[in-house]
């Protein structure tokens, strides 16, 4: 199965496709990690062999994303959604407001969790159809932080650049579906978090990059595992971390580095996204969901102008060994998730199928 031609084109939004090269290395490490005679699932997290894996993951992330020394890189066993609650618990103090920009389902969930903790100010919303990234007219009087979702996996919209926040206000980002898919300036953020299963590895693991002085101001009265400081102080090893997930992440980030890093990922992803959006735009039977200026690089959302167009495309896709193209249940339509590891050949093929369906439904004489 290490032959790429035997694999299905997997357009799943997450868990999503991983580089075949990485999967092959995982296969080997399951039986024997670095000639220790012990597999990655079997090594103690306190072993020297796993220590090397953790160090590799952190240093690859620091190199690829140019993470400055004053930031911690943390690995948490728990998904992106866990941070919806952890962020306000750690950083929202009485007398301050948590500022959010509502750009879709995931930011909506983050807002709902913050409301359980304290005062929330929704500075702008893209509701009800979530086709755009809203302008933010103003933030609240005493912002504890500003939280936004850089890429809206379900609606297929993405921020072109970070929102401007007042000096001294930490910017916190859920980057679950576009972290390391394009260039990144870590210094603009107080904290970035991402679930691993879109671009970085398996589900059930999240990556946090956070400025140390922000972590130092966090609430100290929290349960141990809900405090980011625990993970910073004990180097993500207070409890047993997701050792396998961290191994996969190390492999994925080193793979990104071999491809040329984030700038190369961005070029590659922009190329793939352009191929698909162009085929949608030239068709008479498909329409993109997101407004042009808000289009996502990693999640291309679109729909047929008739149910027949969608059915035909899905039939052809399935015959071409493609999967995962149905849109999210909240939005319907179609969605092609084309993260870093998704090969350009599969995108070219899908763009051809869109052209074919379009031609069949209204042949040009």
Ligand X SMILES: *Cc1c(COP(=O)(O)O)cnc(C)c1O
Catalytic residues: 106, 174, 198
85 contacts ligand X (rule: CB under 6 A): no
Place of tokens 């990693």: 298
CA diameter of the chain: 72
Candidates 97, 99, 176, 283; binder of ligand X (CB under 6 A) is 176
Q: Which is nearer to ligand X, 79 or 267 (CB)?
A: 79
Place of tokens 């796993």: 50
User: Using alpha carbons only, how large is the chain's radius of gyration in Å?
Assistant: 21
Where does the chain have alpha helices with state H? 20-31, 48-64, 80-91, 105-117, 212-216, 228-233, 243-259, 261-282, 307-319, 344-361
- Whichever of 195 and 241 has its CB closer to ligand X, that residue is 195
Q: Which of 177, 269, 298, 337 binds ligand X (CB under 6 A)?
A: 177
**Separation between Cα atoms, residue 76 and residue 78, nearest integer Å:** 6
Mark residues 88-117: x for contact with ligand X by CB under 6 A, - for none: ------------------x-----------
Q: Is 80 in the site for ligand X (CB under 6 A)?
A: yes
Out of 81, 132, 267, 352, name the contact with ligand X by CB under 6 A: 81
State the nearest-atom distance from the C-beta of 152 to ligand X, in Å.
Answer: 7
Dist CA 164 CA 48 (whole Å): 43
Kindly determine how many residues on this chain lie close enough to bind ligand X according to the rule CB under 6 A.
13
- Cα–Cα distance between 215 and 70 in angstroms, integer? 11
Integer angstrom CA distances of residue 197 from 91, 234, 236: 26, 24, 19
Q: Which range, of 125-133, 174-182, 252-260, 301-309, touches ligand X by CB under 6 A? A: 174-182
Q: Min. distance of Cβ 334 from ligand X in angstroms?
A: 17
Shortest CB 33 distance to ligand X, Å: 26
The residue (of 50 and 231) whose beta carbon lies closer to ligand X is 231
Question: Residue 79, interface with ligand X (CB under 6 A)?
Answer: yes
- Report the alpha-carbon distance of residue 185 to residue 259 in Å, rounded: 19
Percent helix, percent strand, percent coil in the chain, to nearest 5? 40, 15, 40
Check residue 153 for interaction with ligand X (CB under 6 A): yes
Stretch binding ligand X (CB under 6 A), from 42-50, 164-172, 173-181, 320-328: 173-181
Q: Across-strand partners of 10? A: 323
- Per the structure block, which two tokens stand in for 327? 């849109």
Closest contact distance (angstroms) between CB of 35 and ligand X is 33
Q: Taking CB under 6 A as the rule, does residue 174 contact ligand X?
A: yes
| Cα 247 to Cα 93: distance, rounded to the nearest angstrom | 36
Q: Are 145 and 170 in contact (CB under 8 A)?
A: yes
Q: Which of 170, 195, 202, 288 binds ligand X (CB under 6 A)?
A: 195
Binding part of the chain for ligand X, among 137-145, 172-180, 241-249, 256-264 by CB under 6 A, reads 172-180
In this structure, the strands spanning 120-125 and 151-152 are unpaired
Give the binding range for ligand X (CB under 6 A) out of 15-23, 170-178, 253-261, 321-329.
170-178
**30 vs 82 by CB, closer to ligand X:** 82
Phi/psi at 55 (5° precision): -65, -40
DSSP letter at 363?
-
Q: Where does this chain touch ligand X (CB under 6 A) — which range of 79-87, 89-97, 227-235, 264-272?
A: 79-87
- 6-25 binders of ligand X (CB under 6 A): 14
In terms of CB distance, is 39 or 78 closer to ligand X? 78
Q: List residues near ligand X by CB under 6 A.
A: 14, 79-81, 106, 149, 153, 174, 176-177, 195, 198, 203
């Amino acid at each position: 199965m290490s032959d790429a031609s035997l694999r299905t084109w997997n357009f799943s939004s997450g868990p999503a496709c991983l580089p075949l090269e990485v999967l092959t290395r995982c296969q080997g490490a399951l039986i024997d990690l670095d000639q220790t005679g012990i597999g990655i699932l079997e090594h103690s997290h306190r072993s020297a062999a796993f220590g090397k894996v953790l160090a590799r993951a952190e240093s690859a992330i620091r190199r690829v994303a140019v993470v400055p020394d004053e930031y911690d890189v943390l690995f948490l066993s728990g998904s992106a959604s866990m941070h919806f609650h952890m962020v306000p618990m750690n950083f929202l103090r009485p007398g301050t407001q948590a500022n959010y920009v509502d750009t879709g389902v995931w930011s909506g969930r983050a807002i709902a969790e913050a409301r359980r903790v304290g005062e929330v100010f929704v500075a702008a919303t893209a509701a009800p159809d979530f086709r755009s990234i809203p302008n933010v007219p103003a933030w609240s009087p005493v912002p504890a932080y500003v939280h936004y979702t850089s890429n809206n996996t379900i609606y297929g919209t993405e921020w072109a650049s970070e929102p401007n926040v007042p000096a001294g206000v930490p910017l916190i980002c859920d980057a679950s579906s576009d972290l390391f898919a394009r260039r990144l300036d870590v210094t603009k953020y107080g904290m970035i978090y991402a679930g691993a299963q879109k671009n970085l590895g398996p589900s059930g693991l999240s990556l946090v990059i956070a400025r140390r002085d922000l972590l130092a101001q966090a609430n100290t009265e929290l349960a141990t595992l809900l405090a980011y400081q625990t993970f910073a102080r004990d180097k993500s090893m207070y409890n047993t971390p997701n050792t396998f997930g961290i191994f996969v992440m190390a492999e994925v980030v080193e793979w990104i580095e071999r491809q040329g890093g984030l700038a190369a990922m961005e070029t590659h992803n922009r190329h793939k996204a352009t191929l698909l959006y162009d085929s949608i735009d030239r068709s008479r039977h498909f329409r993109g969901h997101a407004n042009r200026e808000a289009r996502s690089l990693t999640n291309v959302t679109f729909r047929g102008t008739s149910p027949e167009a969608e059915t035909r495309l899905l039939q052809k896709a399935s015959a071409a060994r493609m999967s995962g193209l149905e849109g999210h249940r909240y939005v319907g339509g179609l969605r092609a998730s084309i993260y870093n590891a998704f090969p350009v050949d599969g995108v070219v093929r899908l763009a051809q199928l869109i052209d074919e369906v379009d031609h069949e439904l209204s042949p040009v004489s």
